[in-house]
Structure 1
Amino acid sequence: MHKITLKFLDQSIEQKYQIEHQCPKRKTHLKLFLLFFIVFQIIKLIIALIIKNYSAVYPTLGMMGCTAFSKCFNLNKEYHQRTLMIFINICFSIYVLFFDPHLDTPTMYFRGAHQMAINIINILGTEFIDSTVTIIMLYLLRIFHIVQNTSNLDITTIIMGLGANLAMVIMVYLYHKAIRSQFLLTKIDQRWENILKQILHNQQFILINYHMEKLQFQSISSTFSQTIQSQAEVLNFIRKAKVENDSLEKFLFHKLQDFSSNFLEIINHSLNVKFDKQLIQINYSIFFGNQPTILIQTSSSKLFSENSEIQKACHLYLKLMTVFIKIIKENKPFNKIQFHNLANKIQFQNLMISIWNKQIQSKTVSLKRSILKIQTFCNPSTKIQFIGSDQLIKTIPKIFYLLLASIVNCTINQQMIVKHEILQTQSNRIIFQGKFNIQKLNYSTTKIKYYLLLICKEIYADQFCINLELNDEILQPFYDRIIPKNQIGYLKKKLTQ
């Protein structure tokens, strides 16, 4: 901004400021003011004619002529608006000072105070240069009026008026500087929003501006999914998505309130939300400029993990093939335990690839049969004993088998007992008793934590007992990424063979 005129040095920004910020407000202001002014003059003219006060009729007709002359200005043009506001201020002041009939002192004080209020409103509606010119002209008019009508001029009154007008110029300067700075900050926010959109090109995200004064979300952009793109769809998503027992909208409100107390920006925090029976891993960030901007992205950590696991599966497959070649061609003996561990890893990868290949429909399965199915993951010397009657459990079989296999694979004694019970909340709990390698279990379950959350509420594990509490409602994953299916298909085919 120019230090004196306060105009933006960039003409394009100045033009945007006038068109977007000032012109619409001035146009509305002028329309309302002129309407009020003409109605006021008509009423005043009628009253003057009724009481036959002809000394007030002619000045009123003159002011009505000035008001009619304002129709020559085009309210859609910036310079016409600014000129008209100066014209109205000067004409109105001349009328009040020189032509309005003089009445008793209290009425004159009352009239003068409101005339000044109208002057100030019009002054604030123009640009700083226009306001300064108007203030100077009005001050000179008042000096001329007081000199013309006073025989004993009080110099202190002139000095006080000069000081008051200088103070008004300073206040108007600060006011216009503030609103221009606010406009500039808004444009900077919008520019950063556009930069963010470019950075996030081809990524799935939701970008929301939060209006602090109105306490509502505005200016929403989204490429999150095909069904969450418009403003209404995004608002529906954040209101219906659940973070534990609260909505995502309420969660974000709390985070915004936290900022107002500690002023710490939130960058790339991870969160699991439930929406439409789906579990979505998101990363959210809150940036604070002129207004808070919230960025929500689907988590990329799962994608990196899956790609890493696919590479491991390829490596294990090659390693297994190498072992087979050595056994067959070189007639070498092989270590059964080592072979068992390697085979388990391949089977784990097979289950994982099935999950990544979206073979995760929820079904009702037999608990006893599921235990028998994953018994191959046990150490050959370990026996599994199922106690109680068989139970039918609604779950996602592939993920359920993977979880059971992870538990069975970490047992380190020769017997494991499996029991089932129904809790008071009607949730299913499966109890595994034996001796377990907890570190190994934690390592296995951490890698598949996202998928376990689809079927499992809690896992309580210690060295001798593992309690598995299942979800009441089976969730589905939110497929926000394209998994390299060419690799998955290749591995699936080879592993099946």
Structure 2
Amino acid sequence: MSNQQSNFDYLYFLMINKYTLQFLDNTVEQKYQEYQLSSKRKPMLQKVIKITILIVIVKSIALMINFNLRDVYSTLGYLMVTIGFILILKFQPRLIRWVLIIINYGVLSFYYEPDEGKTQYKHQLSSALIVSYQFIVMNTGEFIDTLVQVISFYSFYLAYFMEYQPDYSISLTLATFLLSFLLIITFYENASAERSKFKLTIIENKWDEIFQNMIVEPCIIFNYNNFKNSFMLKKSIDFIYPMESTEELKQFLRNSKVNQSHKINLEDFIFQKVQQLNKDNIQIWNQKLIILYHKEVHNIYYSILSDTSPVILIKAKPIKCQKNENDSELENKYQYKYKILIKSILHQFRLSFQQPFPNLHTIFKITVYHYLHEKIDKQFIASIKIDKILNQLKLIYPQKQITLENFQKRSKISGHKDEFYLILMEVFEIMISKQIHIRIINYESSSKFFIYGIFIEGAKEKLASRLHYYQRSLQALEISNQYVSLVLKSERRQVN
């Protein structure tokens, strides 16, 4: 029973009064009025303001050439009206609907002006321009507004005609009524079509919201716009590469090579699939594909929901190393590194027996250092949490006071996390000062780090040599006597 009631409520939510063409739900009607205001009525009033400003300029020039007191009053009138329109547009935009109606009725005053020797053709042209303008303005209003205006305008035109043309034809009067009725039917159909289109937009947005909320695993969701012939980002959920805009989505799709063949990128591949699905009217779910993006190989699973605006879902995972004939060689390398690690730990234990307190922090530091070195060859680009890394480094270097400046928790930096960790360890090892201050300057597409501290004599060359090992993670590096500045290579793209 509750499901039936909810379905009924949703149907009522989208129902339209067939006479006034208004949504029965006040919330939906208000949203529609806001849509009409931003897409039609504001632009129309802006055009009216530009026209009246142009009229004021022309009349002012005419006054300079031929002074006429009547023209002075009319010019001031246009100027005051323009100022009023500007104030309404800026401070009371909800009144624009009624202002446009008033303008339409005000235009009738030009039609009712005395002839003053106008030629027949000039009068006909003026009449055609007035009627055309009125129809354009009526198209920005509601159907009920248009209905009242069409009836009142044609009643005025007919009365004006009967006043100045006593021997009028009854057939002409009948034609006026029929034409008015045809115009009302036309405006009714157009208004009904616009509201139906808005209703479909609400339904489509609701399904998009439901679909996005159902997805909880890391992925990106975007759709294909048939009219603009391009992809538009809808949502990114903890994707392996930071993606917050359509421009970043396009960069990812264009720089991703499919099946490592370098013959087609992911954007062209998805585009071809969308065109094929639109033709066959089918869906694709969880299809596997291998891509190469910035020298990183990934398994991706893509789904395409074919519709008027197809929705594409992509999930990606880094490819795990598979065993091959070189496994024994790799194992030998790992065994060698672990032997070095064990020797280092034993050496520290020997030293600890000669000192009053065991140097456990040094052992912990060496262990972390070797552990990170084991991981860096297999690591891919990911988001870096600066505060988390510094908190861990404070455990490794308890004797140092590490402070951080200009850090915002919401700011995201992408790069090779473990290499960045090791870079900071290399810098901290060289510094002899107990106080280390880190300052971050955020740019649109990167972040620059300043690490302030005192160096050992001749340590600059040694540090530069050691940091050369991490050059794939560093975009820029500068070492001075007071600080080290570095910029990480990032996958983020600047939005134009």
Query: What TM bracket, shorter-length normalisation?
Result: 0.5 to 0.7
Show structure 1 runs of 4+ deviating over 4 A: 44-79, 99-102, 358-361, 395-398, 475-480
Deviation at 1:125, TM superposition (A): 0.8
1:153 equivalenced with 2:168 (yes/no): yes
Task: State which of 193, 205, 216 in structure 1 corresponds to 2:219.
Answer: 205
- Superposed CA deviations along residues 23-73 of structure 1, whole A, max 9, x for unmatched, are 353112102213203422553576589668888887777666666665674
* Structure 2 residue identity aligned to 1:14: E
Is the CA contact (8 Å cut-off) linking 1:5 and 1:129 kept in structure 2?
yes
Aligned pairs (5 A) from 1:178-217: 178-201=193-216, 203-217=217-231
**In structure 2, what is the Cα distance between the partners aligned to 1:11 and 1:120?**
28
- RMSD between aligned alpha carbons? 3.8
Aligned pairs (5 A) from 1:69-148: 70=85, 73=88, 77=92, 79-99=94-114, 101=116, 103-148=118-163
Aligned pairs (5 A) from 1:410-489: none
Is the CA contact (8 Å cut-off) linking 1:75 and 1:81 kept in structure 2?
no
Is the CA contact (8 Å cut-off) linking 1:208 and 1:220 kept in structure 2?
yes
Q: Radius of gyration: which is bigger?
A: 1
Deviation at 1:75, TM superposition (A): 5.7
Per mean C-alpha deviation after superposition, the further-off stretch among 157-166 and 260-269 is 260-269
Aligned pairs (5 A) from 1:245-260: 245-260=263-278
Over 3 Å counting, the alpha-carbon distance change for 1:277 and 1:55 in structure 2 is closer
* Structure 1 residue identity aligned to 2:266: L
The aligned counterpart of 1:237 is: 252
Is the CA contact (8 Å cut-off) linking 2:220 and 2:239 kept in structure 1?
no
**In structure 1, what is the Cα distance between the partners aligned to 2:249 and 2:330?**
29
* Structure 2 residue identity aligned to 1:196: F
* Structure 1 residue identity aligned to 2:203: I
* Structure 2 residue identity aligned to 1:144: A
**In structure 2, what is the Cα distance between the partners aligned to 1:214 and 1:16?**
25
Deviation at 1:160, TM superposition (A): 2.0
Gaps of 5+ in 2: 1-15, 333-376, 383-496
Deviation at 1:166, TM superposition (A): 1.8
The aligned counterpart of 1:440 is: none
Task: State which of 242, 246, 250 in structure 2 corresponds to 1:228.
Answer: 242
Deviation at 1:163, TM superposition (A): 2.1
Aligned pairs (5 A) from 1:361-372: none
The aligned counterpart of 2:184 is: 169
* Structure 2 residue identity aligned to 1:285: S
* Structure 2 residue identity aligned to 1:228: P
Length, aligned pairs only: 319
Is the CA contact (8 Å cut-off) linking 1:278 and 1:476 kept in structure 2?
no
* Structure 1 residue identity aligned to 2:226: M
Could you say what secondary structure the match of 1:2 adopts? Answer: coil
Deviation at 1:156, TM superposition (A): 2.0
**In structure 2, what is the Cα distance between the partners aligned to 1:215 and 1:359?**
38
TM-score, scaled to structure 1? 0.55
Over 3 Å counting, the alpha-carbon distance change for 1:259 and 1:116 in structure 2 is farther
Deviation at 1:147, TM superposition (A): 1.3
**In structure 1, what is the Cα distance between the partners aligned to 2:321 and 2:280?**
45
- Superposed CA deviations along residues 312-359 of structure 1, whole A, max 9, x for unmatched, are xxxxxxxxxxxxxxxxxxxxxxxxxxxxxxxxxxxxxxxxxxx9xx66
Identity of aligned residues (%): 27
Task: State which of 18, 25, 38 in structure 1 corresponds to 2:40.
Answer: 25
- Superposed CA deviations along residues 230-263 of structure 1, whole A, max 9, x for unmatched, are 1233222111112242111112222232344343
Could you say what secondary structure the match of 1:125 adopts? Answer: coil
* Structure 2 residue identity aligned to 1:172: F
**In structure 2, what is the Cα distance between the partners aligned to 1:70 and 1:257?**
48
Deviation at 1:268, TM superposition (A): 3.9
Task: State which of 240, 261, 283 in structure 1 corresponds to 2:301.
Answer: 283
Deviation at 1:142, TM superposition (A): 0.6
Deviation at 1:128, TM superposition (A): 1.3
**In structure 2, what is the Cα distance between the partners aligned to 1:146 and 1:60?**
30
1:293 equivalenced with 2:315 (yes/no): no
Over 3 Å counting, the alpha-carbon distance change for 1:68 and 1:234 in structure 2 is closer
* Structure 2 residue identity aligned to 1:90: Y
**In structure 2, what is the Cα distance between the partners aligned to 1:155 and 1:53?**
44
Is the CA contact (8 Å cut-off) linking 2:233 and 2:249 kept in structure 1?
no
Is the CA contact (8 Å cut-off) linking 2:42 and 2:93 kept in structure 1?
no
Task: State which of 249, 263, 271 in structure 1 corresponds to 2:281.
Answer: 263
Over 3 Å counting, the alpha-carbon distance change for 1:289 and 1:147 in structure 2 is farther
Over 3 Å counting, the alpha-carbon distance change for 1:233 and 1:55 in structure 2 is closer
The aligned counterpart of 1:9 is: 24
**In structure 2, what is the Cα distance between the partners aligned to 1:30 and 1:117?**
16
**In structure 1, what is the Cα distance between the partners aligned to 2:283 and 2:128?**
48
Deviation at 1:85, TM superposition (A): 0.8
Over 3 Å counting, the alpha-carbon distance change for 1:289 and 1:172 in structure 2 is farther
Over 3 Å counting, the alpha-carbon distance change for 1:63 and 1:200 in structure 2 is same
**In structure 2, what is the Cα distance between the partners aligned to 1:116 and 1:251?**
52
Per mean C-alpha deviation after superposition, the further-off stretch among 124-133 and 232-241 is 232-241
Over 3 Å counting, the alpha-carbon distance change for 1:275 and 1:54 in structure 2 is same
**In structure 1, what is the Cα distance between the partners aligned to 2:60 and 2:158?**
29
Is the CA contact (8 Å cut-off) linking 2:223 and 2:310 kept in structure 1?
yes
Could you say what secondary structure the match of 2:242 adopts? Answer: coil
- Superposed CA deviations along residues 293-321 of structure 1, whole A, max 9, x for unmatched, are 2222348xx9xxxxxxxxxxxxxxxxxxx
Is the CA contact (8 Å cut-off) linking 2:289 and 2:300 kept in structure 1?
yes
Gaps of 5+ in 1: 303-354, 374-394, 399-474, 481-497
**In structure 2, what is the Cα distance between the partners aligned to 1:290 and 1:22?**
26
Deviation at 1:150, TM superposition (A): 0.8
**In structure 2, what is the Cα distance between the partners aligned to 1:100 and 1:255?**
67
* Structure 2 residue identity aligned to 1:6: L
**In structure 2, what is the Cα distance between the partners aligned to 1:214 and 1:172?**
29
**In structure 2, what is the Cα distance between the partners aligned to 1:52 and 1:101?**
19
**In structure 2, what is the Cα distance between the partners aligned to 1:135 and 1:259?**
47
